[in-house]
Structure 1
Amino acid sequence: MKTTRIDATTLFLLTFPPLAWAGNAIVGRLAAGTVPPITLNLVRWIIAALLLAPYAWRGVMTHRAALRQHLAMLATMGLLSIASYNAFQYLALTTSTPINVTLIGASTPLFLLLIGACFFHERFRPWQVAGALLCLLGVSFVLMRGEPERLAHLEFVPGDLYMLAATITWSFYTWLLRKHRPDLPLPVLLLAQIVAGVIASIPVAAWELGRLTEPLQWSGKVAWILLYVGTVPSLLAYFVWDRAISRAGAQLPVFFITLTPLFAAVLSTVLLGESPHWYHGMGLVCIGAGIWLAQRR
């Protein structure tokens, strides 16, 4: 079997995105109570669009006919990924912890299997189903916080359920990307989805801001939060991830995604004082083992 040699550059490319996405969870938690979650998501992607537009504009003009042809699909992808997934994640972080959010997000392979089988007529092998069940077991440890009686009474933190919704939304988006990806360069595709997601987010953000009892307070902290979420996890991590896949292939990077909860646990302890618990470790082990089992050939 052919093996992939990981040099220092490839290792960095594989490791940086999970670190950036863990940082996004930490910053989202820091923003709770300071910037409303839907507004945070809207401003994040407006910043990303403004930074990406000069780089992608020539491609947009070149592929404008293809953009018109795939307008409905691009709008759907933007609604699912930009407007819904990221908004659900920030909503989750208002009541849940970054460790919980990233662990639940790491269970995406489970929902990919279920949604693929139910809506996209995909067939899967027994070990993939076994891997998905392990992921489900890992998520259960996190949701129950190590207390099985929570399952009987459905005493979940609302943020955990928001993150489940985010994971399901992202799974639908992933299948659409696999089955119906428009033939566009990555910068053009990303910009089109961002614009669609921003347009869909504006009415909801306006409603959210209208419900505030006090006006939004701008500060240096808010500026740094917006600058980070609008650049590092939104653009830089996406392009680094794309380069990592081009160097290492599509299979190996899946395992590095499981670093996101580990980075989130370390950053939560250092920056937020939220130490991980034993059930986080059990959840991570089950999810990691499930992903490894589902991805094996």
Structure 2
Amino acid sequence: MSVYTTVTPAELESWLAHYTLGNLLELKGIAAGITNTNYFVTTTQGRYVLTLFETLTLDELPYYLNLMSHLARHGVACPAPMADRSDRFASLLAGKPACLVSCLNGGDVPEPGAAHCRAVGAMMADMHLAGDTYPARMANPRGPAWWSATAQVVYPHMPKADAELLHAEIAFQSQHRFDTLPSGVIHADLFRDNVLFAGETVAGFIDFYYACNDVLVYDLAIALNDWCSLPDGDIDPIRARALLAGYQSVRPLTEAEKAAWPVMLRAAALRFWTSRLYDKYLPQAGELTFTKDPAQFQQVIAHHSRRDDFWLL
């Protein structure tokens, strides 16, 4: 979440006239994340999160917003989109597609413990099961074809040794395909800053705008690489086992998923190494922006490539 598009209080008040959410009291930009523009919006009826989409179009938004509504109705802790008087979840604001969602109580946990990781794993499994009945489909826009194409763009900007490592990892992933593994709705970006906690209870998963249909265990790998990471890019085995135990307490992994797990961990790290390289070398201009270090996931891959224990037993 960041601020790339500036919204004035007058613009927002005019837009809010299409809702029955009361009068505007406060508009405050959120400087976190890297893709969309986000604000906290407080009205006389409550507090919400306003998102202006910098790359998604109005036609693309129903998959994500209807998904959030579906998951919330099925007991998954996540924000619920607010409909306007015309029953729309999204419309144009400041020239960009925009929506309001409920603002959940709780906060993120920068230094999670095992209990937090177990709770995240269990709620992710609940989300995957609830997604079984969501009828819409969205192919992963940041899968292998995307990271291969993006790598071609960032290679010229990288130190030669790092570029060679990235090329080698993409070649390694190209040797593996997991089309037959269980698949469905995935969050695809469930990092620590996208989960809110009240104590050790998950208050909500947020920022569903990379959600798509893909291999479920890939989603689990994305989460583990962040929630269980150490400063040097290695993985804390206690937190890793807790996250996996939480997930499997709701949805046990199949033997095929367990066999694919080591490669999936590297694939999940590769996706974010590539995207962070792109954001570093071709940054998007914004009023308040936040970028993340791509070297973190280069280190994660290095550790995974040497690992013998993957915490599944």
| TM-score, normalising length: structure 1 | 0.29
More strand by share: 2
TM-score normalised per structure 2: 0.28
Q: Which structure's residues are more often helix, by fraction?
A: 1
